[in-house]
Chains A and B, each alone.
Chain A
């Protein structure tokens, strides 16, 4: 008997019921996406909360073109922050992970634990001094300032991902490199780095997504010139100055989510692994 639930009427209900319930939840989970999509393709006169559930009578991309014009500087800023931010975080994470798994020093476990706590702190608890520090460093309100902040607060999760990955590399590989006279950096460059591509993929994707979606740091450390797309989107969505152009708003929300959703759809496997690393399990 392959079906462990047996073949009675109950099991039949279970067998057909399960996909049905799962499908129901698919509909619930996609509901917001549906509303965003159909509204974004409506012409202005047609786009309003009262017709949210209807398909467009007339399809129009005017919302999308307006959204693009409005958000473009924010999108450029977001890329300028998220790409270097993710890359530098990954490099630091790789070095830390290597040392903390293969080249431990006295107290390295304590250092690792202290790093990890940084992953959980509410950033509100560093808000005042952080704004002060970046002001003193004269990088408050700049793209560079935001990159720095994301890199620093990304160290914990990146270190965790790499450390958990490097733990799975056999110590013997490092040992044999040492016997051949390789030092720490040599063993890193010739043994560990060539094996690191998957961990780099996980880390870069994870960091890219969280930096792209950040709002808190951007809103109190950014300035109009350096605002990423999340802040610009929130500003346009929040201002009731003129009549709200709902089609533009919905297209803007989609546009602002496109990069991370694409990354998720195309590289979901790595995204998943970053997710699981967040639960501290290797």
Chain B
């Protein structure tokens, strides 16, 4: 009882948040899952249990496999692109360059901008019109003699989602740069010095001393980029709107629920999305909390 008096007030202070998270996160996830396993394919049918049929049937829908494929292409290009570009920029800045602060300000500013606003201009930049009618990036290529680089960007049936990842890379690589820069600077100078004394070239210092120390940073960046990628919605809506060619699960859930008025399908897609994020994030959370406690 004495001990309870020590911790009870704390629990009480957090309880409003526990209730809020309990209801709005876990309660609603549960509720959504119930809709997903119901036959509620329109808004009037009362929900009933259909034994998870939706999870199977979804794959027979003409648009769904394409949406999954689009999400995978987008994820691969976006995650690899933002990770490599961010790490590269941080690597260039690691030793310090003149006006470093200004460089950082520029690389990071896209994070302050919403995709809805950025989409207004990216829709122009990624306009597919060719040759004389070219606008945006295609026009820039055309005018600088790089006309062969011109392409149909996000409207390309196979590579469209790769082009769609460009604005996402633009927005997130500054963040990755910041993570890596902090990581680089966190490697003790003595470690690098010791390697140099042993005769390692500067490249080898990075290869064998600095980069291996950055595995946790890379892991964090991968998880964050990966879960953003699975959830991508604003970007697609701002640049392409609801079109089959850029259909991804996050957009599909919205379209099923609010345009096609099929709650069961929407909830099923949303559950798949949640599972994908959970598979990525839960091991990471457990690992982070454990390694922190071990410290």
Residues of A within 8 A of B (CB): 4-5, 18-19, 21-22, 25-26, 29-33, 35-36, 49-50, 52-53, 92, 95-96, 98-100, 103-106, 108-109, 111-118, 120-130, 132-133, 149, 152-153, 155-156, 159, 183-185, 209, 212-216, 220, 230-231, 233-234, 237-238, 249-250, 252-254, 256-257, 260-261, 263-265, 268, 271-272, 275-276, 278-281
27 contacts between A and B (CB under 8 A): A25-B107, A29-B109, A31-B125, A36-B121, A53-B139, A96-B17, A99-B10, A124-B254, A124-B266, A125-B29, A125-B270, A126-B25, A127-B32, A128-B270, A149-B24, A153-B24, A156-B21, A183-B9, A185-B13, A215-B238, A261-B113, A265-B105, A265-B109, A271-B112, A275-B175, A279-B220, A279-B224
Measured CB to CB, the closest approach of chain A to B271, in angstroms, equals 7
CB under 8 Å from chain A, chain B span 2-25? 7-11, 13-14, 16-18, 20-21, 24-25
- A280: chain B residues at CB < 8 Å are 220, 285, 288
A185 near B112 (CB under 8 angstroms)? no
Residues of A within 8 A of B293 (CB): 109
Bound Cα distance A3, B107 (Å): 26
Do A124 and B116 have beta carbons less than 8 Å apart?
Answer: no
A128 in contact with B35 (CB, 8 Å): yes
Cβ–Cβ < 8 Å partners of B178 in chain A: 272, 275-276
Within 8 A of A (CB), among B105-152: 105-125, 127, 133, 135-136, 139-140, 143
* B residues in contact with A237, CB < 8 Å: 116, 119-120, 123, 238
Interface size for chain B: under 10, 10 to 19, 20 to 34, or 35 or more residues? Answer: 35 or more
- List CB contacts (< 8 Å) of B279-295 with chain A: 281-282, 285-286, 288-289, 293
**Contact A106/B7 with A4-B196, A122-B231 known, Cβ cut-off 8 Å:** yes
Point out the residue from B25, B92, B113, B258 that lies within 8 Å of A118, measured CB to CB: B25
**Distance from A145 Cβ to chain B, minimum over Cβ atoms (Å):** 12
Are A152 and B20 in contact (CB-based, < 8 A)?
Answer: yes
B7 proximity list for chain A (CB < 8 A): 103-106
CB within 8 Å of A: which residues of B? 7-11, 13-14, 16-18, 20-21, 24-29, 31-32, 35, 89, 92-93, 95, 97-98, 103, 105-125, 127, 133, 135-136, 139-140, 143, 170, 174-175, 178-179, 182, 196, 202, 217, 220-221, 224, 227, 230-231, 233-234, 237-238, 241, 249-250, 253-254, 257-258, 263, 266-267, 269-271, 273-274, 277-278, 281-282, 285-286, 288-289, 293
Partner of B202, one of A4, A49, A257: A4
Known: A22-B89, A117-B285. A105 touches B8 (CB 8 A): yes
Would you call B14 and A99 a contact (CB within 8 A)? Answer: yes
Q: Within the assembled complex, what's the spacing in Å between the Cα atoms of A153 and B20?
A: 9
Whether B285 lies near A125 (C-beta < 8 A) is: no
- A215 with B139, Cβ < 8 A, contacts A35-B121, A35-B125 known: no
Q: Is the CB of A49 within 8 A of B124?
A: yes
B32 touches A129 (CB 8 A): yes
19 additional contacts (CB under 8 A) given A121-B277, A130-B24? A22-B103, A29-B110, A52-B135, A99-B11, A100-B14, A117-B278, A121-B274, A124-B253, A125-B28, A127-B254, A128-B257, A129-B27, A156-B21, A214-B114, A215-B233, A250-B121, A257-B117, A271-B112, A279-B220
Q: Do B270 and A216 touch across chains, with their CB atoms under 8 A apart?
A: no
Which residues of A are found within 8 Å of B113, using beta-carbon distances? Answer: 213, 257, 260-261
Given contacts A26-B106, A153-B24, A276-B179, contact A103 B29 (CB under 8 A): no
The answer to whether A4 and B266 touch across the interface, beta carbons within 8 angstroms, is: no
B18's contact among A111, A127, A183, A185, by CB below 8 Å, is which? Answer: A111
A159 and B20 alpha carbons, distance in the complex (Å): 13
CB distance B29 to A159 under 8 Å? no
Q: Are B267's CB and A128's CB within 8 A? A: yes
Name, among A104, A124, A126, the residue most crowded by chain B CB atoms within 10 Å (CB to CB).
A124
Cα(A23)–Cα(B97), bound, Å:
11
CB contact under 8 A between A234 and B97, given known A53-B140, A95-B13, A184-B10: no
Question: Do A249 and B10 form a contact, CB below 8 Å, given A109-B293, A113-B286, A121-B29?
Answer: no
Q: How far is the CA of A2 from the CA of B111 in the complex (A)?
A: 35
- Determine how close the nearest CB of chain B comes to the CB of A98; give it in whole angstroms: 8
> Do B274 and A122 touch (CB < 8 A)?
yes
Chain B contacts for A99, CB-based, 8 A: 10-11, 13-14
A126 CA to B231 CA, complexed, in Å = 13
Q: Which residues of the partner chain A approach B175 to less than 8 Å between Cβ atoms?
A: 275
Contacts of A18 in B (CB 8 A): 92, 97
